[in-house]
Amino acid sequence: MALTQSETETLANAVDDSMALAEDLFDRLATETADGGGVTRASYGDGEQLAHDMVADAARGLGLEVTTDLAGNAYYVLPGRDRSAPQVMTGSHLDSVPKGGNFDGAAGVVAGLAAQAAMKAAGFDPARDVTVMAIRSEECSSWFRGRHGGHLGSRAALGLMQPAELENAIHLGTGRTLGEQMAACGLDPEKLMASPPHLTARDVSAYIELHIEQGPVLVAEEKPVGVVTGIRGNTRARDGRVLGEYTHSGAVPQAHRHDAVLAGAELLTALDRETEAVLSEGGDIVFAAGQFGTDPDMHSLSKVPGEVRFTLDIRSLDEATLTRMRGCAESVAAEIEARRGVQVDFGGFSVSQPTVMAANHCRLLREGCRALGIPAIDIASGGGHDAQEFDRIGVPSSMIFVRNDNGSHNADEAMEIADFALGTRLLAWMLADAL
């Protein structure tokens, strides 16, 4: 049974009143994790822990139940009438990329708290528990090299983390393995892996995540809110290398060189051409090599480069496109190896499947936008999110995007609090009754 118009207006007004709490949390997070113009809240590090402590204190101040799991994820619970029923969950992550923006991730946690505060203030008595999850280590790709499946906090809670990841993921800031880094935070990774999942599909009736948009679409379309229809999957090479031969750049003729940089550049150019081909066919794809460089201890002006390290990040809403691009990378690499006398080592590819958001959630979100008078459009997510991990275990999942200028993962994120209030109104409307 949907909220009446009077109930909808009461809840919306209560959300507006909760913006003082939200702004205070955003301001304190920005101040206390400031780093060179942006913020740094390292996955399983000091900044992330500070954020978790701060938000947990705010949750206790609202009278919410506060617990944590063996992976360090936190749960802020507004009790419902039936405590045995599967809970409705919202949330996001509190870590950031190095020198990143203050809203990526944190907006979803703060919105959840603001929605709970509004529901309490407006006298809503939910049928089931409404839980905000503050998730660890969503930005782990910026903090851990090596083989891991990403989204470490949510995957650990859902029973999707593999034991090998505790050793294979190496923290870039400390050099510790993931297991060692977790232990340094007071956690017990061995107990985590030996225990049943903290959350299963039986425990959660629905998951909905609010997040800033990480691209320019909502700004360009002049819409404050987006209903996310799907999340691009990806195939990634996190530890790619091209191995050639260091030689004198003046003395060795071109035909006798095994230049790692030229080989790597040729590989990326071929992948760029294949990307353009997919787009010309009407397909969905984005591609980047975010890291590409020679060894600073070995390179010099007068050397032919003998090694280059690189990453590949290929994303698409279509699984077949991801397979096509990986095949292209491997076949082009083999041809370059034979012709240039180099070795191309991708270091293995990790794969994240595309995710389609729950159709019923998307329908309800559009209905909520109409009821609340919020201008919105349907939109796809190019970035990965914890919502896709909930979808993987069979929990109906969805996302709300909030307009944000200047992109994300940088210090210039520019979400307006008025847009955030509209997104939080929609989130509260979903949590109060629709789900």
Write out pLDDT tens, residues 147-193: 888 999 999 999 999 999 999 999 999 999 999 999 999 999 999 99
Instruction: Give the pLDDT of residue 435.
Output: 72
Residue 383 reports pLDDT greater than 90: no
Is there a contact between 420 and 212 (Cβ–Cβ < 8 Å)? no
The domain ranges of the chain are: 5-232+354-434, 233-352
Tell how strand 376-381 and strand 225-231 pair up: parallel
118 vs 90: CA distance, rounded Å: 15
Instruction: Give the pLDDT of residue 413.
Output: 95
Tens digits of residue pLDDT in 247-302: 999 999 999 999 999 999 999 999 999 999 999 999 999 999 999 999 999 999 99
Calculate mean pLDDT across residues 213-223. Answer: 96
Q: What is the CA radius of gyration of the chain?
A: 23
Instruction: Give the pLDDT of residue 23.
Output: 98
What is the secondary structure of 10-58 as a DSSP string? HHHHHHHHHHHHHHHHHHHHHHHTEETTEE---TTSHHHHHHHHHHHHH
What is the pTM for the complete model shown? 0.84
Residue 139 reports pLDDT greater than 80: yes
For the chain, the farthest-separated pair of C-alpha atoms sits apart, in whole angstroms, at 82
In order of 115, 206, 395, 399, 433, the CA distances from 111 in angstroms are 6, 17, 21, 12, 17
Q: 330 in helix, strand or coil?
A: helix
State the chain's mean pLDDT as an integer: 96
Residue 351 reports pLDDT greater than 70: yes
**Alpha helix segments (H runs only) across 158-294:** 165-168, 178-184, 189-194, 217-221, 260-280
Q: Which residues of 345-378 are buried (b: 16+ CB within 10 A; e: fewer)?
A: ebbebeebebbebbeebbebbbebbebbebebee
Instruction: Give the pLDDT of residue 350.
Output: 86
Model confidence band, residue 101 (pLDDT cutoffs 50, 70, 90): very high
Instruction: Give the pLDDT of residue 393.
Output: 97
Calculate mean pLDDT across residues 50-61. Answer: 98
In order of 10, 49, 133, 157, the CA distances from 52 in angstroms are 30, 5, 11, 16
Tens digits of residue pLDDT in 307-316: 999 999 999 9
Residue 1 reports pLDDT greater than 80: no
Calculate mean pLDDT across residues 52-78. Answer: 98
Q: What percent of the chain has pLDDT over 70?
A: 100
Is there a contact between 93 and 386 (Cβ–Cβ < 8 Å)? yes
Calculate mean pLDDT across residues 225-236. Answer: 94
**Alpha helix segments (H runs only) across 33-150:** 46-61, 106-121
Closest CA to 333 of 286, 258, 264, 246: 264
Which class in CATH covers the domain with range 5-232+354-434?
alpha beta
Q: What is the CATH number of domain 233-352?
A: 3.30.70.360
Instruction: Give the pLDDT of residue 147.
Output: 84
Instruction: Give the pLDDT of residue 50.
Output: 98
Residue 349 reports pLDDT greater than 80: yes
Amino acid type, 298: M
